[in-house]
Amino acid sequence: MAQTGEQEANLKAAFIYNFTKYIDWGNYNNENFVIGVMGKAPIVESLKQIAKTNLVNNQRIEIKVYNRPSEIGKCDILFIPKENRFSLKSILDRTGKGVLTISEQPEFAKEGTAFNFVIINDKLKFEANLKAISSAGLKAGSQLLKLAIIVD
Amino acid sequence: MFKFRDISIRNKLILMQVFTSVLVLFVVFGVFIYTDINSYKVRKKDSIVSLANVIGTNSISTLQFQDQEAATKMLAELHNVAPEIIHAGITDANGQVFASYSKPGEETFKIPRVLNGKAYVFINNQLFVSNPIMNNDQILGRVFLEIELSDLQQIKEYKYELAAVLLSFAIVFSFLIALLIQSYISRRLLQLVKTMKKVGKTGDYNKIITDDGKDEIATLIQVFNKLMQQIKENIEKKDQFIGIASHELKTPLTSIKGYVEMLDLMQTEPQKKQFIQKALSNVNKLERLVKDLLDVSKIQSGQLQLEMQEFNIDSLLNETIESVEMVSPTHKIIRTNDCDNQLIIGDRQRIEQVLLNLLSNAIKYSPGENLIEVECEKTEKELIIKIRDFGIGIAKEEQLNIFERFYRTKDLSMHISGFGLGLYICRDIIRRHYGKIWVESTGKGSVFHFSLPIKHSLQTQQTVV
């Protein structure tokens, strides 16, 4: 998969959007569906493109960029791009219940993010940490999990 | 060539009924088999379409996350679920093959062109199904399935076999039923035909057919009976007339004959005597004809009486031959054997009449020949006299008819005078003597036989009668 960085970002953004179809956040309020991104990354543009034309649970999608962990506010998904310099722990400490954490660095799923993108055989796959998903108070659909590489 | 109109009514009726029932059954079976196979196809199509739906639903996430491996793995499991699947395939939103499965031994999957936008299509024994994969009104791709309907062929064969067996049963049954029913119509017609043939053959117009029906056949039978009645009456009138006419003719003829005979005795002038004798010979001829008519009339009315007496057949034969030879000098009549002076009980004059008739016939029908043979054959019970000529013979189809009244040969090359009554009278006379008369004939002449019972067997026969 000789993809340019932009194509890879688009694909990951699409995956993130598709995750929302299989994740049950439980309680819905009337606010926007917030996807937070830790730091600047190409995926922000891709997510913004999706947000223009798609809804999640009939809510508009809002993209927020947090420059440091202390900025992390209320969000439904927190994406931790590989450009992130802050320690994972400092980030996870700031995320509470109802936040789906998605990363893209090896071993991150084992260390506590719910989903983690990996490239296997030139194909984009994702790891899932079931403990992290349930401790975040979320439910993941079986159709999603059957495609995931389950870690711990 | 086979022609429908040549078959008998009986067989026509049977054929019609069998044909009708077979035709109806053919249509019924055809419709049944058609709907049966159709409903099988519909059921199969429905189940395959729902299978395609399930596959589609299960493929949504694999398409969303572009996991071809998972999709291929899922399709491979179809082998266990539905072994009749030959090919299965999933295409993505762009119509590119995303994942596919082919039954081992089959070619690799290709998007079936035969569908051409349709949801399903049957080709031969294969079913092609295409089902969209939908997620929230968004088409993510399509599922294609190609199914081998291996049991369809079996079902068809089974149905055809069943239909064939039932049809054969139906043919047998309808034939049997037709056989029973046809007799109601054809029996009466056939009876009428049979009676008509019999009447045509025997000339017995007393046959009346009873029939209590009211249909056209009954009318036909009534008309037939009426015709028979009319014919009978006409024959009776004719017989009466012949009786009266021959009687009335005979009286003046006898007196003419007497006077001419007297004239013959009195006349000495050669020229006149010759004329008188010509007249006398014609009177004799006329007398014979009138006598024949009178005999026939007597036979018809049952008034022919036999004067039974015992006589020597040899002397009768000799006398008769002598008198015939006197009148017909052209032929020599030879007795090949004698009859041991066998005594016969019968009407000597009538037997002489038979002999005269047969001998003069033999002479009449063998012009240009000069020999007639008379032979005697004696068995234990009867004496058979055979009179053989070497003339033209009698055609096979005429041999039975020559003993009928007024029968004249159809051979127009012969001009024979007379009423055609001689053999009829002969047959009656011989029958009254409990004998038989028949002819055997080839192209080289005819042999007339008649048999007379010998004394002792006649007595036993008379007691039996």
Cβ distance of A18 and B65 shorter than 8 Å: yes
CB contact, 8 Å: A124 with chain B? yes
B58 contacts A15? CB cut-off 8 A = no
With pLDDT > 70 as the criterion, what percentage of chain B qualifies? 95
Interface contact A15-B62, CB threshold 8 A: no
Each domain of chain A, given as residue ranges in start order, spans: 5-151
B64: nearest CA partner in chain A: A18
A146 and B61 in contact by Cβ < 8 A? yes
Phi, psi of B139, rounded to the nearest 5 degrees: -85, 115
Are B317 and B334 in contact by the 8 Å Cβ rule? The answer is: no
Using the CB atoms, write b or e for B267-285: b if 16+ within 10 Å. Answer: eeeeeeeeebeeebeebee
pLDDT grade, residue B465 (50/70/90)?
A: very low
Instruction: List the domain boundaries for chain B.
Output: 4-157, 216-301, 309-464
Cβ contacts (< 8 Å) between B67 and chain A: which residues? 125, 147
Residue linked to tokens 């994702």: A126
pLDDT one-digit tens code per residue, A115-128 = 999 998 888 999 99
Question: B216-301: which CATH topology?
Answer: Helix Hairpins (1.10.287)
At B326-381, the pLDDT tens digits run 888 888 888 888 888 888 888 998 999 999 989 988 888 888 888 899 998 988 88
In sequence order, the 6+-apart residues with CB closer than 8 A to the CB of A100 are A19, A23, A25, A76, A77, A78, A114, A115, A133, A136, A138
Quick one: pLDDT at residue A1? Answer: 42
Interchain contact, A124 vs B135, CB within 8 Å: no
Q: Which residues of B touch A150 (CB under 8 A)?
A: none
Model confidence band, residue A14 (pLDDT cutoffs 50, 70, 90): very high
pLDDT at B462 over 70: no
Query: What amino acid is encoded at B196 in this protein?
Result: M
Q: B70: nearest CA in chain A?
A: A147
Taking the CB of residue A124, how many other CB atoms lie within 10 A of it?
Answer: 19
A141: pLDDT strictly greater than 50: yes
- Is B61–A143 a contact, with Cβ atoms under 8 angstroms apart? yes
Is A141 at the interface with chain B, CB within 8 A? Answer: yes
Domain B4-157 bears CATH identifier 3.30.450.20: yes
CB contact under 8 A, B66 and A144: no
Predicted TM-score (pTM) of this structure: 0.56
Residue pairs between chains A and B whose CB atoms are closer than 8 Å: 27
Buried b (16+ CB within 10 A) or exposed e, B183-202: eeebebbeebeebeeebeee
This model of the complex carries an ipTM of: 0.84
pLDDT 10s digits, B243-295: 888 888 888 999 999 999 999 898 888 999 999 999 998 998 888 888 888 88
The predicted structure's pLDDT at residue B464:
46
How many Cβ atoms are within 10 Å of B446's Cβ, its own excluded?
Answer: 24
Letter for the amino acid at B207?
K
Whole-angstrom distance, CA of residue B379 vs CA of residue B1: 52
Task: Give the closest residue to A16 by CA, choosing from A91, A81, A67, A65.
Answer: A81
Q: State the fold for domain A5-151.
A: Rossmann fold (3.40.50)
Residues of chain B contacting A22 with CB distance shorter than 8 Å: 61
Q: How far is CA A147 from CA B61, B95, B377, B379, B380, in A?
A: 8, 22, 123, 121, 122
CA pair distance B11, B70, nearest whole angstrom: 74
Whether A143 sits inside 8 A of B135 (CB atoms) is: no
Interface of B with A (CB under 8 A): 58, 60-62, 64-67, 70, 135
Percentage, residues of chain B above pLDDT 90: 23
Position B398 confidence tier, pLDDT thresholds 50, 70, 90: confident
Confidence of residue A28 (pLDDT cuts 50, 70, 90): low
**B309-464 domain in CATH 3.30.565.10?**
yes
On the question of pLDDT at B174 being above 70, the answer is: yes
